[in-house]
Each structure stands twice: as C-alpha cells, then as structure tokens.
Structure 1
Amino acid sequence: MLNTHTPTLFRAIKRLTTTLGFMVVILLFSVATVNAQTDERIYEIIDAVSEDRLRADVKKLADFGTRHTLSDTVSNTRGIGAARRWIKSEFEKTSQNCNNCLDVFYQSNLVKKGDNNRITKDVMVVNVLAVQKGTKYPNRYVIMSGDIDSRISDPNNYTDDAPGANDNASGMAGTMEAARVLSKYSFENSIIYVGLSGEEQGLYGGKGLAAHAKEKGWEIIGIMNNDMIGNIEGVDGVIDNRTFRIFSEPVPPTETEQQRRARRFYGGEVDGISRQLARFIYKTTQDYMPEMNPMMVYRLDRFGRGGHHRPFNDAGFAGIRIMEAHENYTQQHQDIRTENGINYGDTFEHVNFPYNAKLTAVNAINLASIAWAPPTPKNVGIGGIVEANARLQWDAVDGAVAYKVYWRDTTSPTWDNARLITDGTSATLKGIVIDNFFFGVAAVGKDGHESPVAFPSQIIR
C-alpha cells in the first residue's frame, strides 16, 4: 500500500518521462493513482492558508457594524456598501499580486419592494466576483462562495449592529483567503471566488448569479457554498474542531419525468450531481487532510432552512453547503445582549480561527483538485442485466490519461471500490453483479487529479 502522503512520487514519475517509454510511465502512474492522489502542491495550499489573515478579515467585516442587505450603501465605514467595496478592493489587491490574474467585478440585480416580506424597500443586490480564468477550459467554472450580508433577531432591522462574525464573515473571509492562496497557481478550469449578497432576505444573490451564469452560457462544475465555518462550540455543549458538514441534495430538481421513472428501476436516488460533488469533497479531504472529519448530510440544507447553493441547484447546477458541525443558536441571528448570564450575538470573539483556517483549506484543496482535473465523463452507459459481470462505457474526455470505474454497495455513502482503466473508454467488471452495487466513472488527469464521478445515464445492451 502506498503512503498517501508521499508527494514526491509524481515528481519522480515526471522525471522518468524524459528517459522511459510511455507505457512504463503510465504503469507507474496507474499504481500511484489507484490508492490516492499525491500532488505535493495540495500540501503547499493547505500550509499557505493564514489564520492571521482570516482573523483580520473577519474583524474588518464585523467592524462595518451591519452588513444587512438593506443597510447603508453610502458610508465608507458602515453598512453593506462599504463592506462590498472593501471586499472588491481586497480581490483587486490579490489580482495585482498575481499579475492581474483575477477579473474582479460587481454583478447586481434590482429587487423591488414587496418581493417578499423581508424586502421593505427597493434594493440593489450586489455580488462581488473574482474570476481566475482557466488555461484550457475557460468557460468551465468551479465556485467558492461566502455571504456578505448579516442580520440580527428581526430580519428587517437594517440599522442596528449586526456584526455577523461567524454568519457569515467567516465564509466570506475564507473565500478571500482561498483567492489569495490559489492565485499563485495556474489551473486548466476557471475558479470563481464570490461574495453573495441578499442571503438573509431570500437567497437573492445566488439567484442573480445563477441566472447570470445561465445567460452567459457558463458551464458550472459546481458551487461550494460556505456559510458559517468558524464556530466549534455547539449550543448542545459539544466542542468539536475537526468535524464539518457537507449538505447536498440527492437528485436535481430539474430532472425530467422520464429520468424520475428510470430511477425506480435502475437506481440513482442518492446519486445526483450535487451528491457526487459532496462525495468528491469527502474523498479529497480524507486523502489530504485526514485530521478532519467530513460529515456528509443527505439533505439539501438544515431541516427546513436554506443556503446560497440552493438557487444553483434550482437552475440545474451541482451545489453543496460546507459548514460547521455544531451550531450555536445564541450567536446566530441574535440581537447583541446579555440574558441570564448568556452573551447573545454573532460577535468576533466567538470565531475559532484555527478551525476557520482548516475549513478554508478544505475549500481551497477541493477547488484546486477540480480545477486541475479533466471534465467529468459524459454519456456513461451501463450493462450487465442478468449477467455475472457489470459493463460500462463512456465518451472519451479531453485531457484524461486514464479513467477510474468506481462501485459501492447500494447502502454505502461513499465510493469504496475502484479500478483504473488506462486502455480505452469501457470496462468489464468480472464477477461484479450489477444488481448489488452502484457504479460511476471519473476521468483522471496527468497529475492524478480526478473529476467528480459521473453516474450512468443510459443502459447498454
């Protein structure tokens, strides 16, 4: 068994390409990628995430007083207008430090008074984007988001202090830090770092950006929505600085009636594109950050609640929510006060920055892994009905040097078994009965990075 934390392996293989034939190199590559991804740059990314920068950014955001969507937009020191201008200026500084590698801009939508009961006046919902264009697939985007806006007990109170240190300065600061770290690298796919507004008033920023992506014809690989990634002390008394939750819906709401009927006979109830993105994040985190405990939650979001990945799901894109495992409701959506010895309010001192840094690193390594990987295989077909073998085939993927066929027990949440395919776009798994497992295919790039898994979409005879 290979040591999954030996990043020098791929450097050795690359050196061999100058002296050995392709078949020998690909054999060594195959051994490396069966067990784990081993790109040393991923460890560099983890180490580069700075607690000090996160602390400074969360403090700055909290010090704007309130970032309520309907708050002041004129002041330079208070309100959401000042906050978004500062975020944009920080993205621009990052871009200057990487030879203008980021395209930084506002994306906005007007929301009219009365659109819902939390929109008490006309408001321009403004998102702040920093786009790092891919060298090979500039129109394919993986997104990391945090929310700019904040609120207190009354969702319509846009004048009183709402520092929103954990909800969601922690996610916004994490997004800015990921941009600083990853801007030092070049990727084949594009990455978007975005601060979304209007979350607390009705997910308006996400709705606007998802519609913008549709209008521009962007191919969205997936969005990693970060909402509260800085708290380790739950209201239930649990203190946990290792576990985090990944929320994902089972299948897209945009599936057709034909697809729904097919699932009854062929399976796939928990294998939509968002669930595959969640599994990707789970696996990458376990490979490179084994000290962390990713917890996949089979639900769109918390019970009866919502987050900014949902508008992307509604538009048919893959999207998940990353957040702390144990929420503290005394510090969430609360007026700042002290009652019965309890300090209520989402204030700076409650944020745990070592944990904030860990979850920022989780995002950064998954952004990088996806952005360095080839596209997900398309037109994956499966056969093997009333046979002793499972058969799969798929379209060739540009940039893939190999593929991985995955399978798992139907009750398993993770892809537990894999076979590397280096000689074509089909595979027969002898002795693996199709009835007893679920299957998928991922494309593997030259550095060992894999695409998210594609679940079969058609039956082959």
Structure 2
Amino acid sequence: MPSDESHGPVPTKPTRRTFLSAATVTAAAAVAAPLAADPARAGGHGADDGPGRPVRPQSPDRELRRLLAEVDQRRIEAIVRRLAAFGTRHTLSSQDDPERGIGAARDWIHQQLQSYVAGSGGRLTVELQSYIQQPASRIPVPTRITNVVATLRGTTSPDRVYVITGHYDSRCTDVMDFTSDAPGADDDASGVAVLMELARVMSTRPMEATVVFAAVAGEEQNLYGSTYLAQQYKAAGTDIQGMFSNDIVGSSRADDGTRDPKSVRLFAEGVPTSETPGQASTRQSVGGENDSSSRQLARFVSDVAENSATGMGVRVVYRRDRYLRGSDHIAFLREGWPAGRFTEPNEDFAHQHQDVRVVDGKQFGDLPEFCDFGYITRVARVNGAVLWSLAQGPGTPKRATIVTTNLTNDTELRWERGTEPDLAGYEVLWRETTAPEWTHAIEVGDVTTTTVNLSKDNVFFGIRAVDRDGHRSPVAFPQPGS
C-alpha cells in the first residue's frame, strides 16, 4: 500500500519559472504563512522539475484519526446480520409485516438512524422519503419506494452537500421473486452498514459542509430510490459536490478463493471530447478525456484515503461501472454531479443474487457467513476519510476557466472565489498530458486569476482551494473561455 509520501517519480521537464501577475504575488505573500503550515509544502522544487512543488498526499489530521478509530467492527457486523435476518428485502415484498420484508427493514434502519439524533446537537435529521412508483421495468404494480435519509447539516457551508448511499433492498436470482429468502448480506447490507456506522460516528462532530447518509430502495429493480433522491435534490437546486455509492463491499474473496483484503475498487466515469461547432478545422481538442469531475473526485479519494489510518489502497477504475450492472451513483451522474461507486476488489458470483440453498452439503446464498466484517470496517474508514476531508475542507472551485482567446506561451487561469470563512487561497496544479495524476502544485494565494509561464498547449492544468488548516478541495479542470 502506498505510504503518505508516495506518488512515484516526477518526470523530468525543462527548467521554467513561474510568472504571476502583480496582484497574485501580493496576495500570495499575504497567505504564505497559513499555506506553509502544511508539512507537505516544505522543501520547494528542484531546478529541473518545472514550476511548483511535487504533489503529495493529504495526511489525516488528529481528529480524523480519532473518528476512524471509532468505526466499530462489531456494530457493522450486527447491522449486516440484522438486515439479513429480515429474510427478504425485495422491493415487492411486504411493506407492513413487522418481522419480514422490506417494510420491516425500512423501519429498523429508520429507528437506528433516529437514535443518533440526540448526540448530534440538533445537526442530524432523519426522514422517510417515499413515492409511489407506477408499473415500469421490474415493477408490475404500483409500489411504494422509500428511502431512509439522514442529513447531517453543515455548520459554516451547509449548502455544499456530499452524499453516501447503500441500497437496502435485496433480490434472488430471479429478480421478480419477492417471496423466497434473499438475505442480501453482501449485496447490499454491507453498504448500508457502512453508511449507518459513519452516520453514528460523524453525527457527534460538527461538519463544515452537509453530509447525507441515504439507505435507498428499489436499486435491484432499476435504481428507483436513488433516481428519486437525485431528482429531488436537482429540483431543489442542491449543490452536490460529491456522491458515493457503496454497493457490494462485504468481502475481498473472489470465486476462485483468492483474496485482496486491503483494496477497494472505485469506479469513476470519464467524459467525451467535443469540438466547438464550426471550429474543428482551426482548433484542436482541448483534452480533458480523463478529467471529468468524477475523475477529479476519484483522485481526491486516493489522495486522502490511502494511508495508515484506513489500512486500505484504492484501485480507481476508469469506467462508469462493471459490465451488465450499475449502481446508485448512476442516478447522480445523470443529473450532472460527480459520483463514484465503491465495491469489493473481487466478486464471488456463487454467493451473489442466489437463492439460499444447500448443494453437496455446502450452503450457498448471499449470507452473512460469507462476509468479511473486518474488510467492511476498512471500507467504512475509507469512506469516512473521504467524507471528513470533503466536508471539513473548502469546496471545489467553480467557473474555472483557461483563457484560449490569445496566442501566447503563458497560460491565464480564472475562477470564482469560494465563500468558506476559513479559505486561505488556491493552488494551480499541472501535469504532462500523458500523466494520469497531478504532479506539480503552484501556490498562488487568495486570488481569482493567475498567469503561469507554461504553455496550455503542452500540459493540463487544474485549480484547487486550500483552507487555513491545510485541507484541500478536489481539483477543478478549467474549461476554455475568454
């Protein structure tokens, strides 16, 4: 697993010096002290490295380490076992049986999340978000779909929102069989356990931005619950700056018996490249094929979550999701928000979506016995590190622009200043166009425009915000403009 300082060798590049406008230099000096307080900023750069310092991971602060230490494996196991004990949580199963079916699971999740409200200082609220889904794909009759949504309101930037989901519905091999047992321990009681345990430990702490913990329904039928949740946020004009689905995070075991207990996959969608109509003959593609907001969010995850406090590595996969399948993050991608899906590194298909049965003396089915509760706990810590770092840091810069209306070997960048009260300034990041990760960061201070003596034709640029405690935002990839 990479250490806090490992980002690999930085490619050698021609010597250049950074040119900043007079306003930038003045502002940079004003915030030099708080920015320099970050240990990762020490040392400067070599003569052949190009402008800026090498990019290094963001180390967990003391409070984050305490938070992650509170994530309790015993509680996670208890949640998975209790959800599996409802027999089936199929979307079409009973809504009013107190012991079996999706209604019983819904009420239990709501009750548990509600029990965390008292310790939140009034910041946590819990609601049942319901609607009637009319007959559609895998829904033969009008059916009530209910999400259980716990919202931890931010203290200083409450309008900036981050969402984590797991789906509490389950299924058999026959997706329309709503009477047979479908314990759904791995798929997806494991993901629900992650969000519930994080809601418990995070609700006791003030968070600067708002974090939503949502147990959604209807995923196995066609992402109905998450689609409704995303649509409600869209209609309300919610500023969602990151979303993660935790779906099948219960085991590191593959169907051939191999294990990878210290790794979790994160699926992150890219974007297509397009040309401005009528200008294809005069202007080359601006790039950005690997720089969607979801890819920048994935880079942020690796930056803050691969460390000793989580005990995990993150394998980012440059795809929307796996073949033939899709999870609840897709509902948020459809609305234009950055989103990704956490899932285990391998899959044991013999124990997924299978009716509970015994073959040759061996029991099959998505049962708690096939879960690795230590693994789920580590996945929860990855999510916790990411959500804490997002919510306690500044928001992703908005309206980031790279000026492309003049011919020059310098690069002019602009963006909109954030509103966080502890905002210290900004960094310009750059990398070679063939590099998968950002390699260099240039501190530019509390400004909204800067000029860098590097050609926009040769490298990619990004912009991120930094607060007084050294927390950094995800990177904004600038769009061409004037």
With the length of structure 2 as denominator, give the TM-score of the two structures: 0.85
Q: Taking structure 1 as reference, are residues 23 and 284 closer, same or farther at Cα in structure 2, changes over 3 Å only?
A: closer
Q: CA deviation at 1:188?
A: 1.6
Name which of structure 1's ranges 34-43 and 328-337 shifts more when overlaid on structure 2.
Answer: 34-43
**2:81 pairs with 59, 78, 83, which one?**
59
Tell me the SS of whatever aligns to 1:363: helix
Q: CA deviation at 1:120?
A: 2.2
**2:184 pairs with 160, 164, 170, which one?**
164
**Corresponding position of 2:366:** 346
Is the contact between residue 390 and residue 473 of structure 2 (CA under 8 Å) also seen in structure 1?
Answer: yes
CA-to-partner distance for each residue in 1:227-249, whole Å, 9 max, x for gaps?
Answer: 01111111143211011111111
Tell me the SS of whatever aligns to 1:356: helix
Q: CA deviation at 1:337?
A: 1.7
Is the contact between residue 43 and residue 288 of structure 1 (CA under 8 Å) also seen in structure 2?
Answer: no
More helix by share: 1
**Corresponding position of 1:137:** 157
Counterparts of 1:220 and 1:417, CA distance in 2: 27
Tell me the SS of whatever aligns to 2:220: helix
Matched, 1:267 2:287: yes
**Corresponding position of 1:453:** 475
Matched, 1:442 2:479: no
Q: CA deviation at 1:425?
A: 2.7
CA-to-partner distance for each residue in 1:273-297, whole Å, 9 max, x for gaps?
Answer: 1111111111111256474221111
**Corresponding position of 2:130:** 108
Counterparts of 1:128 and 1:213, CA distance in 2: 15
Q: CA deviation at 1:426?
A: 3.1
Code of the aligned partner of 1:443: A
Code of the aligned partner of 1:405: V
**Corresponding position of 1:18:** none
**2:377 pairs with 347, 350, 357, which one?**
357
Name which of structure 1's ranges 282-291 and 175-184 shifts more when overlaid on structure 2.
Answer: 282-291
**Corresponding position of 1:10:** none
CA-to-partner distance for each residue in 1:160-190, whole Å, 9 max, x for gaps?
Answer: 1100001000000110001011112111211
Is the contact between residue 251 and residue 274 of structure 1 (CA under 8 Å) also seen in structure 2?
Answer: no
Is the contact between residue 38 and residue 470 of structure 2 (CA under 8 Å) also seen in structure 1?
Answer: no
Name which of structure 1's ranges 195-204 and 435-444 shifts more when overlaid on structure 2.
Answer: 435-444
Code of the aligned partner of 1:325: P
**1:419 pairs with 442, 464, 469, which one?**
442
Q: CA deviation at 1:256?
A: 9.0
Q: CA deviation at 1:416?
A: 2.4
**Corresponding position of 1:199:** 219
**Corresponding position of 1:395:** 416
**1:214 pairs with 234, 238, 243, which one?**
234
Q: CA deviation at 1:415?
A: 2.0
CA-to-partner distance for each residue in 1:97-134, whole Å, 9 max, x for gaps?
Answer: 22332110011121122x11x11222111000000111
Code of the aligned partner of 2:37: F
**Corresponding position of 1:25:** 33
Matched, 1:315 2:323: no
Q: Taking structure 1 as reference, are residues 344 and 443 closer, same or farther at Cα in structure 2, changes over 3 Å only?
A: same
**Corresponding position of 1:404:** 427
Code of the aligned partner of 2:34: I
CA-to-partner distance for each residue in 1:240-271, whole Å, 9 max, x for gaps?
Answer: 1011111111028xx99859999961111121
Q: Taking structure 1 as reference, are residues 261 and 450 closer, same or farther at Cα in structure 2, changes over 3 Å only?
A: farther
Counterparts of 2:98 and 2:365, CA distance in 1: 24
**Corresponding position of 1:76:** 98
Q: CA deviation at 1:92?
A: 0.7
Q: CA deviation at 1:387?
A: 4.3
Name which of structure 1's ranges 213-222 and 333-342 shifts more when overlaid on structure 2.
Answer: 333-342
CA-to-partner distance for each residue in 1:348-377, whole Å, 9 max, x for gaps?
Answer: 111101110010011111111111122211
CA-to-partner distance for each residue in 1:282-329, whole Å, 9 max, x for gaps?
Answer: 111125647422111111000132110101111111111011110110
**2:121 pairs with 77, 90, 99, which one?**
99
Tell me the SS of whatever aligns to 1:58: helix
Q: Taking structure 1 as reference, are residues 300 and 342 closer, same or farther at Cα in structure 2, changes over 3 Å only?
A: farther
Name which of structure 1's ranges 54-63 and 256-265 shifts more when overlaid on structure 2.
Answer: 256-265
CA-to-partner distance for each residue in 1:49-68, whole Å, 9 max, x for gaps?
Answer: 11000001101000011100
Code of the aligned partner of 2:363: N
With the length of structure 1 as denominator, give the TM-score of the two structures: 0.89
Is the contact between residue 425 and residue 445 of structure 2 (CA under 8 Å) also seen in structure 1?
Answer: yes
Q: CA deviation at 1:459?
A: 3.4
Code of the aligned partner of 1:391: E
Counterparts of 2:433 and 2:277, CA distance in 1: 19
Number of equivalences: 438
**Corresponding position of 1:178:** 198
**Corresponding position of 1:283:** 303
Counterparts of 2:325 and 2:181, CA distance in 1: 24
Is the contact between residue 150 and residue 168 of structure 1 (CA under 8 Å) also seen in structure 2?
Answer: yes
Is the contact between residue 253 and residue 260 of structure 2 (CA under 8 Å) also seen in structure 1?
Answer: yes
Is the contact between residue 358 and residue 364 of structure 2 (CA under 8 Å) also seen in structure 1?
Answer: yes
Counterparts of 1:287 and 1:445, CA distance in 2: 21
Is the contact between residue 310 and residue 378 of structure 2 (CA under 8 Å) also seen in structure 1?
Answer: no
Counterparts of 1:376 and 1:185, CA distance in 2: 22
Code of the aligned partner of 1:392: L
Name which of structure 1's ranges 220-229 and 446-455 shifts more when overlaid on structure 2.
Answer: 446-455
Counterparts of 1:257 and 1:205, CA distance in 2: 36
Is the contact between residue 42 and residue 288 of structure 1 (CA under 8 Å) also seen in structure 2?
Answer: no
Q: Taking structure 1 as reference, are residues 84 and 423 closer, same or farther at Cα in structure 2, changes over 3 Å only?
A: closer
CA RMSD of aligned residues (A): 2.5
Code of the aligned partner of 1:365: A
